[in-house]
Amino acid sequence: MTKLMNSAFCVMVCVLCGCTQQPDPNMERTISLLGEINGQLEKMHCRTNPFLDAACADETDASYGWGDGIDYLALERIEPLSSAPVGEDVTRYLQSLADAVRNRKPGVSSPRIAEMVAKIGPGHLKELAPFWDRLPEAGAAAGVFRKEDVEEALERLPRYPALYEAIRHYEGEESPRLKAAFFRAFEENQDDLSALSGAMLAYIKTPEDLEFFADCYRKNPAACFVLEKIKYFPAVDENKLAAEAWLVRDRDTLHNRLRLAETQLKLGNPEALALVINRGGESAAQRLKTAECFWEPEAARAASWEAVVEYYRANRELLVFEPQRKMYIIRNGVEQ
């Protein structure tokens, strides 16, 4: 607290002492920094004053943006780019931006980030593409992605699927070459295809398209979400496709097997359940899905992971999968 107040005092002295001289080109950044510091001081005051409740701090968070997880002071410390930045400078700048928003809350976007991304200017898609998923404001950054960048972006899409929306803006969803790049991403990218999940159904026009995505579920660990997307097609046998994928990926890495197992918890695959119980539980979503195999949603949310593991190990010989409820229940036995 004292260090922060000293910093604020120093900045104020600098501003006041320079008020009679030529305008400082960095004055705007300095004034902005003062606003950020003032917001932090108000927040600390709310947190430490016993006569003020938590609502005060929450209001301060909302007013100054502190509740969104973005490190605004880190943004202020980012060194500005030159008027004609080269590749390494752009990469370093974007990495600093990505670091500042590392902990931001889901769904939070910032016009200020878009403004800062825009400062890289056009012609830097090579440097920007690896950061597009972490800096989605790039799509709204003026002049950064242009129609003439589409050709290069189509080539980069399989590796950087987050570019999809920027390309679609210029090409349109029905573009044959966008569809070709979209399919190529599912063939080549085995790390993360989540940015393409929302658009996938629009590209299933024929039985061959449907079979293509079904085969991606069987073989590509990044396409685990595909089963949930296509299971309602009459030609898809959900349980049969899940069983095929489980056999095909029998020798895959533990990480990839866990990704697949998570999609089969509600399908009655006892091997998938055992794998997640014994080797998984790393994410909150995975723990909740596993708990819901045994209990209704409210009880599942209240259960600790330790309780889930203990329940399974005590009752695994008595558990029977109930397809209608998509849960494991105790039948013909006494719960332990």
| Domain contains 95 | no
pLDDT for position 26: 56
Question: Of 68, 86, 113, at which residue does a domain stop?
Answer: 68
Q: What is the DSSP letter of 199?
A: T
| The pLDDT of residue 333 | 57
- In this prediction, residue 258 has a pLDDT band, given cuts at 50, 70 and 90, of very high
Of the listed ranges 34-38, 77-81, 138-142, 169-173, the one predicted with least confidence: 34-38
Angle of helix 111-118 relative to helix 87-100, nearest 10 degrees? Answer: 170
Number of Cβ within a 10 Å radius of residue 193: 22
Q: What's the total number of domains in the chain?
A: 2
- Kindly tell me if the per-residue pLDDT of 301 is higher than 70: yes
* 53-62, 100-109, 280-289: the lowest-pLDDT one: 53-62
Mean pLDDT of 187-208: 97
Counting residues of the chain whose pLDDT is more than 90, the rounded percentage is: 70
Q: How confident is the model at residue 68 (pLDDT cuts 50, 70, 90)?
A: confident
In degrees and rounded to multiples of 5, residue 148 shows phi and psi of -70, -10
| Buried b / exposed e along 99-138 (16+ C-beta atoms within 10 A) | ebbeebeeeeebeebbebbbbbeebbbebbbbbbbbbbbb
> Is residue 45 domain-resident?
yes
% of the chain with per-residue pLDDT over 70: 79
Domain boundary among 68, 96, 120: 68
**For residue 52, pLDDT beyond 90:** no
Reply yes or no on whether the pLDDT at 124 is more than 70.
yes
Q: Please say if the pLDDT value at position 22 is more than 90.
A: no
Q: What is the mean pLDDT of the chain?
A: 85
Domain containing residue 322: 200-330
CA distance 196 to 84: 33
Higher pLDDT: 1 or 161? It is: 161
- The residue among 26, 41, 68 that closes a domain is 68
Q: Is residue 281 part of a domain?
A: yes
Please tell me the pTM assigned to this model: 0.76
